[in-house]
Amino acid sequence: MKLLLDENLPKRLKLDFPEHEIYTVSDKGWNGKKNGELMKLLILEEFDALFTFDKNLQYQQNFKKYAIPVLVLNATDNTYLTLSKLVPKMKETLNTQLISGPTILNK
């Protein structure tokens, strides 16, 4: 599965997903891209899903226009120590039929 970690997530989180082709926004040179532009790039480059900490994304984007699954990590902060606790839930979600639009993953 080809996955992207948004720039608001710790880069080392990608090391927890060796079974997937996973990139950070920085890896792709997409730092500073606005959400709409980022969504277009995700579709153009055939990503399967986006991981983000941006809880407002679901209200800012039209997911009928940008048909890509977005997994929103919901935790008290976006440090690796905190978000690494969500890794099992993230992997479990990736093993299901992903749907277009936001899915909230709680700690």
Residue type, 2: K
Contacts of residue 31, Cβ cutoff 8 Å, sequence gap at least 6: 7, 25
At 57-74, the pLDDT tens digits run 665 555 566 678 999 999
Count of structural domains, the chain: 1
Domain ranges, residue 23: 2-106
- Alpha carbon 24 to its chain centroid, in Å, reads 9
Q: What confidence score (pLDDT) does residue 107 get?
A: 73
Q: What confidence score (pLDDT) does residue 42 get?
A: 93
Cα–Cα distance, 49 to 96 (Å, whole number): 12
Q: What confidence score (pLDDT) does residue 101 get?
A: 79
